[in-house]
């Protein structure tokens, strides 16, 4: 993933803990994302709901966990919250004073709702432009379906948003309306080789082992080699990035998102969050009725892979973190 903000009640794991922990945002009281308070680089100290991560294996026998977060890494630097902190991403990792560097990672961002007028009005005025992309323009755009139904994860840059066609947005919007879903959040579009390397590093490092084809597995092998040799995180990601570029030159794609802009304009490849749907299955079913949709990979409903009468290829992969959709232009 690497494209979603972290909010209150996100689920985290600690390499020394015996159970997942629920993040409790206490430093920020005015900035919301998808209806929940946004976690930031100042979400520090004992910032998890009791009992933290259960017990801490740093000592033996394990003792009760009392988290003491001292810093976060891999946060989003493109947005400053009140000039003092930055929002956390699903790639972010935390350091506990009682553990070691980057011992805490995020397995679920906690996002559920899409920002609405209620949350916007509840936010302090000074913060409204920080996170909520609709701030100050809700009255004008309240009835604009494309903005209120189909949105982008805040961490997706403007360049990665604008390359998604209006045709794709319209298809997603119509499928949401017909399936009685109120929101579709696009979490990934075109991706650079560096972003792909970062995402693959994070997944492996946090225990999310995704099944890749041969090119992707070759990049994972680079990750494993770097771990064995004790390389730094930056060195491992750099080596993974170089491997992805090398494979791309051989026309061996590691990810369907890693393509040239011209290729992307011919076929939009997007991921949408699984957490914002009222009925994800109905949404997928509506997509199947559109002949421009050529491929869907979904992690929600176990089923055999098949192609429907429209020629849409449907695949089930429980390792997917989102619903993957490909749309011909």
Read off the pLDDT of residues 155-171 as tens digits, 9 standing for 90 and up. Answer: 788 888 999 999 999 99
Burial status of residue 176 (CB atoms within 10 A of its CB: 0-12, 13-18, 19 or more): buried
According to the model, what pLDDT value does residue 131 have? Answer: 42
- Smallest CA-to-CA distance from 106 within 233, 205, 221, 210 is with 205
Tell me the C-alpha distance between 74 and 285, whole Å.
36
- Inform me whether the pLDDT recorded for 221 exceeds 90: yes
According to the model, what pLDDT value does residue 115 have? Answer: 40
- Smallest CA-to-CA distance from 287 within 198, 171, 196, 203 is with 171
**Residue in this structure with the two tokens 């929940």, named with its chain if needed:** 36
Q: Binning pLDDT at 50, 70 and 90, where does residue 175 land? A: very high
According to the model, what pLDDT value does residue 155 have? Answer: 77
DSSP string, 134-184: TTT-HHHHTT-HHHHHEEE-TTS-HHHHHTS-HHHHHHHHHHHHHTT---E
pTM above threshold 0.85 = no
DSSP β-bridge partners for residue 11 = 22, 108
Specify which of 233-237, 272-276, 296-300 reaches the highest per-range mean pLDDT.
233-237
pLDDT in tens, 4-17: 789 999 999 998 98
- The pairing of beta strand 55-56 with beta strand 323-328: unpaired
Helix, strand, coil shares, percent, the chain, to 5: 30, 20, 50
Q: Where are the domains of the chain?
A: 1-139, 143-190+259-329, 193-249
């Amino acid at each position: 993933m690497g494209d979603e903000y972290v909010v209150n009640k996100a689920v985290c794991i600690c390499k020394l803990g015996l159970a997942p922990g629920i993040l409790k945002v206490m430093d920020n009281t005015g900035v919301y994302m998808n209806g929940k308070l946004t976690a930031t680089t100042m979400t520090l100290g004992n910032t998890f709901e009791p009992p933290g991560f259960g017990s801490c294996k740093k000592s033996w026998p394990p003792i009760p966990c009392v988290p003491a977060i001292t810093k976060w890494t891999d946060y989003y630097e493109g947005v400053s919250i009140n000039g003092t902190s930055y929002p956390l991403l699903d790639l972010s990792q935390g350091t506990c004073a009682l553990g070691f560097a980057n011992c805490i990672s995020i397995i679920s961002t906690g996002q559920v709702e899409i920002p609405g007028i209620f949350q916007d009005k509840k936010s302090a005025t000074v913060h409204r432009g920080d996170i909520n992309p609709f701030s100050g323009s809700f009255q004008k755009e309240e009835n604009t379906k494309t903005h209120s139904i189909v949105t982008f994860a805040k961490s997706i840059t403007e360049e990665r948003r604008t390359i998604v066609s209006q045709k794709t947005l319209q298809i997603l919007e119509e499928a949401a309306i017909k399936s009685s879903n109120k929101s579709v959040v696009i979490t990934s579009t075109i991706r650079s080789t560096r972003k792909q390397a970062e995402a693959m590093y994070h997944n492996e490092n946090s225990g999310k082992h995704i099944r890749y084809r041969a090119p992707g597995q070759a990049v994972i092998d680079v990750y494993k080699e770097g771990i064995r040799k004790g390389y730094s995180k930056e060195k491992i990601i750099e080596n993974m990035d170089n491997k992805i570029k090398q494979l791309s030159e051989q026309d061996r794609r590691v990810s369907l998102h890693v393509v040239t802009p011209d290729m992307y304009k011919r076929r939009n490849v997007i991921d949408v969050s699984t957490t914002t749907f009222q009925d994800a299955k109905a949404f997928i079913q509506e997509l199947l009725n559109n002949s421009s949709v050529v491929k869907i990979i979904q992690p929600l409903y176990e089923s055999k892979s098949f192609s429907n009468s429209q020629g849409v290829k449907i695949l089930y992969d429980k390792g997917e973190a989102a619903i993957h959709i490909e749309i011909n232009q």
